[in-house]
Amino acid sequence: MKKLLIYLKNYKKESALGPFFKLVEVIFELMVPLVMASLIDNGIGMNNRSYILKMFAILIIFGICGLAASISAQYFAAKAATGFAKELKHALFAHIQSLSFTEMDKLGVSGLITRMTSDMNQVQNGVNLTLRLLLRSPFVVFGAMIMAFTIDTQAAMIFVVAIPVLSIVVFGIMLLCIPKYRMVQERLDRVLSSTRDNLEGARVLRAFCKEEEEIKVFGLRNEELTKLQKNVGRISALMNPVTYIIINIAIAVLIWNGAIRVAAGVLTQGAVVALYNYMSQILVELIKLANLIISITKTIACGNRIQNVFETTSSMKEGQVDTTDKNSSESMVEFKNVTLQYQGGGEAALEDISFAAKPGQVIGIIGGTGSGKSSLVNLIPRFYEATEGEVLVDGLNVKEYTYQALRTKVSVCLQKAVLFHGTIRENLLWGKKDATEEELWEALSIAQAKEVVDSKEGGLDYVIEQGGKNLSGGQKQRLTIARALVQDADVLILDDSSSALDYATDAGLRIALANMKKKMTIFMVSQRTSSIQHADCILVLDDGKLVGKGKHDELLKSCEVYQEIYYSQFKKEAMANE
């Protein structure tokens, strides 16, 4: 948590002025009991009306000054806390963007969302409260004790005994709560993860009538969270009653002692009232301090969770080559004995893969579910790092490129079509921010998406809802392909990006890609042999191994896995040929 405080460096003035004005407020508060004592002894006791009015005016002035100081403290503390949160959010978001998919998989999407939202809000509130109250409460407590000594040393000894006892109780409860608040946040992550999975897969759940099962699973996780929160609540709930008991005992002893000393003529009535007021101030401030400490324990737990993200560094180091110019390499993409094993994934996802793709070639990739198709193409833009071997793009190891340079050379259309809220134009310009209108329409035409845009009101300015909910699966896929084409890269990866397209549209896409002016090196991942059978080279994967490589006709004769896939899809044609 300490390391996060560097994000307050641009708000040093506000961070200093907030506590300063709180201390000014405290000074006026500490003076009030003395004024009240003087009012009772010299005003009411002496029946001096002018003195009473004078003291009354002083109390009003102190109240106004205290209020002004309090408002100023609140303003500066809030400004510092919101600025701190802004800087921290920006830094956290930038750091998350720098992580590789390996680290993001490890941290989990739900956990990262929790840190960016509820954890961040808790830290912001904690900083705000700390700047306003952390110095105020101790200052009032010790200030009141000192003022009590100026009135009567014997009575002040009651303060000396009560304050350490209260401190032991407060800090003891705090130490018990800190680890439990950390556990609460971890359980909250699990509940949020379950919520996210169920909301994203709502249609699937209902299709398989799994609502009751998921409600039970959610109920169990929610019950775990509730039990832990109740446990923490019971411990923290001891704070107020225990502190009240100690303070009330101290006040009772103080009044008893004061009554004896007033009767003996040692203390005045005003002095006893002042001592009582100081003890009451201590009570209020210690309750505030106790609640503040509970808030700080939550803040520390949340801050440590955010800090854990910052301490998670990318396992991939960015290269230095930032040129996007073409080299004279014979191969645009080359794999040399590549093996990939996901972190904590057990068996290798890819094993000893070697092939070369020349500039302008179309490479088809096919295989059964879980055979490693997506894993293979994810290594080209360096979404993941090869465990063994080398992946070369344009003659250079992908590790040597900067991320910007590599991903300018490699355009990717992922398996899941993702569009962002905004216009179609804005989504397409993700590929190339300075693309012309002509380039956008050319990409749409190749991707078979021109008629999709023409059919929408506003055309390119048609607004896509969050997640592309107002588009069909096929429409989203065509638009994401168009976005990848707008980038005009040397390598285009289509990771099963036409799975939602009908055969006629899929065929039109393949023809349009073949007739493009610029000859890209294209990797087409597909479950359909019809989509890749005209490729220059087809890679057949089975259980992470490359079991076949060649053209369609060659693989039909030599590759058993390819034969099985092909004949399962074209059974009637195969039987007719026989």
Question: For the chain, which residues score pLDDT lower than 50?
Answer: 572-578
What the chain holds in terms of domains, given with CATH numbers, is 2-311 (1.20.1560.10), 333-577 (3.40.50.300)
Chain centre to alpha carbon of residue 137: 33
Q: Measuring CA to CA, which residue among 484, 496, 502 is closest to residue 541?
A: 496
Tell the burial category of 318 from Cβ atoms under 10 Å away from its Cβ (0-12, 13-18, 19+). middle
HEC profile for 392-447? EECCEEHHHECHHHHHHHEEEECCCCCCCCEEHHHHHCCCCCCCCHHHHHHHHHHC
Strand 410-413 with 463-464, pairing: unpaired
Question: What backbone torsions phi and psi does residue 390 show, to the nearest 5 degrees?
Answer: -130, 145
Return contacts of 46-50, CB within 8 angstroms, 24+ apart: none
Instruction: Say what the pLDDT of residue 571 is.
Output: 66
| Position 416, amino acid | K
Instruction: Say what the pLDDT of residue 548 is.
Output: 93
Instruction: Say what the pLDDT of residue 42 is.
Output: 87
Instruction: Say what the pLDDT of residue 90 is.
Output: 94
